[in-house]
Amino acid sequence: MEEKIIHESREGRVAIWTISRPKALNALNSAFFKEFNELLDGLESHQEVAALVITGEGKAFVAGADIAEMQGMGREEALAFSRGGQKSFARLAALPIPVIAAVNGYALGGGCELALACDIRMASNQAIFGMPEARLGLIPGYGGTQRLPRLVGAGNALYMLLSGKNIEAGEALRMGLVQAVYENEEILEQSLKLATGISKLGPNALSTIKELVYKGSEMGLAEAVTLENKRFPELFESDGPEGIQGFLEKRKPQWKS
């Protein structure tokens, strides 16, 4: 039997997915995407997981799409390869729960794109980010040319995409590509701490915030704040009353879902 590439564990209501294919620095192959989509199926159909942390085993988060698998691909296969990855990462970004990338090492190409599809990126001081596709005569195929400039601005994105240069965690922090940097030994612990804190907040509030940030960034400001205005009162029929009551009674809210 083939060994699993993604090892799933739980800490309270936080799921941890550890990508483990150390022989290829956790490069993303078709077996990875199969498992990834099965795990997404599980998350979408069960509500007990309140936050997800994705990390890598060894010295890489993910060193990219599997270059060996791309060898000999024709146009049709490349289209399917790119679409499959894009769809998978879009599913991840659309999860109603917060997803944190705990970037422990190399996050190159498809690995950087995976981190970009997460909601929050935490980096180890040994993390290395890069979009080296142009070195291979390619472009990022999993949403990277679009998510990267939306996150760090066109100038920083073009610097990374056109030069193919790697950047270290400190530079990634300066650009806004990552939200925090920790010592390597602490990266998972700190990411879990953040995820655990988040997992205690109003679940409907969290999913609404994600929806508004992602959908709103595709809209004009007036339309986006109208959407915010539509969602705000909806919270008064879900998490809002319990959150407010809990505050006033000086107790932790007991969310219904």
Kindly state the tokens that stand for 93.
């970004």
In the complex with ligand DAK, which residue's Cβ is closer, 82 or 126?
82
- Cβ(97)–Cβ(51) under 8 Å? yes
Q: How far is the CB of 54 from ligand DAK (least distance, A)?
A: 16
Site string for ligand DAK, 69-88 (x = CB under 6 A): ---------x--xx--x---
Choose which of 141, 143, 203, 253 interacts with ligand DAK (CB under 6 A).
141
In the complex with ligand DAK, which residue's Cβ is closer, 160 or 194?
160
Query: Is residue 106 involved in binding ligand DAK (CB under 6 A)?
Result: yes
The verdict on whether 76 is a catalytic residue reads: no
Longest Cα–Cα distance in the chain: 64
Residues 19-58 that bind ligand DAK (CB under 6 A): 24-25, 27
Query: Is residue 194 involved in binding ligand DAK (CB under 6 A)?
Result: no
Size of the site for ligand DAK (CB under 6 A): 24
Provide the pairing of β-strand 60-62 with 99-103: unpaired
The verdict on whether 218 is a catalytic residue reads: no
Where does this chain touch ligand DAK (CB under 6 A) — which range of 38-46, 66-74, 239-247, 248-256?
Answer: 66-74
Choose which of 5, 15, 17, 109 interacts with ligand DAK (CB under 6 A).
109
In the complex with ligand DAK, which residue's Cβ is closer, 106 or 182?
106
Check the CA dihedral 245-247-248-251 and report its sign: positive
Query: Is residue 253 involved in binding ligand DAK (CB under 6 A)?
Result: no
Q: How far is the CB of 93 from ligand DAK (least distance, A)?
A: 16
CA-CA distance, 28 to 5, in Å (whole number)? 9
Choose which of 17, 19, 52, 66 interacts with ligand DAK (CB under 6 A).
66
Choose which of 56, 98, 140, 143 interacts with ligand DAK (CB under 6 A).
140
Site string for ligand DAK, 229-248 (x = CB under 6 A): --------------------
Catalytic residue set = 113, 133
Residues that bind ligand DAK (CB under 6 A): 24-25, 27, 63-68, 78, 81-82, 85, 106, 108-110, 132-133, 136, 138, 140-142
